[in-house]
């Protein structure tokens, strides 16, 4: 079983979107026994809250259900518990590396490193933008999750 954690700032936009997309692809692909996913934020100020309503709306329009997800803060034990901790942007990556015990740093990566054919290296924060930003985040999450699951389901 591979365990993957998606990480953004508050765990209400980008990382829960990636988690929801991954859960959907894992279920429809029959990968439940191989891959487990979760999400967290580098900050805990939204802990316990559902994803942003705009994220939920855009995701639902494409058949993804984000409603069961609740924000939580990245914890020290997560570096040990998960096989991959995927940052949505370089700021998250830098913060995670600073807080990660050296022995686990190899597990910390940028999420879009797994997105084949995507020019972007980071998933932009849609929080202060319009609805198109949430659509773009969902596009990137679909591409990133697709590449990630292909790699995890077929290592080598």
State the Cα angle at 53 between 47 and 56, rounded to 5°: 95
* 100 part of the active site: no
* 14 part of the active site: yes
| pLDDT, tens digit (0-9, with 9 covering 90-100), for 8-46 | 999 999 999 999 999 999 999 999 999 999 999 999 999
Please pick, among 83, 113, 125, 146, the residue that the annotation labels catalytic. 125
Domain boundaries, given as residue ranges, for the chain: 2-153
In the beta sheet, which residues pair with residue 4? 37, 84
| pLDDT, tens digit (0-9, with 9 covering 90-100), for 113-138 | 999 889 999 999 998 877 799 999 99
CA distance 112 to 115: 5
Please pick, among 8, 13, 100, 141, the residue that the annotation labels catalytic. 8
Counting Cα atoms < 13 Å in the Cβ hemisphere of 153 gives 15
So what CATH class is 2-153?
A: alpha beta
């Amino acid at each position: 079983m591979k365990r993957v954690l998606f990480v953004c700032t508050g765990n209400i936009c980008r990382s829960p979107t990636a988690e929801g997309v991954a859960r959907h692809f894992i279920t429809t692909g029959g990968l439940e026994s191989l891959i487990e996913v979760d999400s967290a934020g580098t900050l805990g100020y939204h802990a316990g809250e559902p994803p942003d309503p705009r994220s939920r709306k855009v995701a639902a329009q494409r058949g993804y259900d984000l409603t069961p997800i609740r924000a939580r803060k990245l914890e020290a034990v997560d570096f040990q518990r998960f096989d991959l901790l995927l940052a949505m942007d370089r700021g998250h990556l830098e913060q995670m590396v600073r807080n990660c015990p050296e022995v686990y740093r190899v597990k910390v990566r940028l999420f879009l490193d797994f997105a084949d054919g995507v020019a972007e290296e980071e998933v932009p924060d849609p929080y202060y933008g319009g609805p198109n930003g949430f659509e773009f985040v969902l596009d990137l999450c679909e591409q990133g999750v697709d590449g990630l699951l292909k790699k995890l389901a077929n290592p080598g």
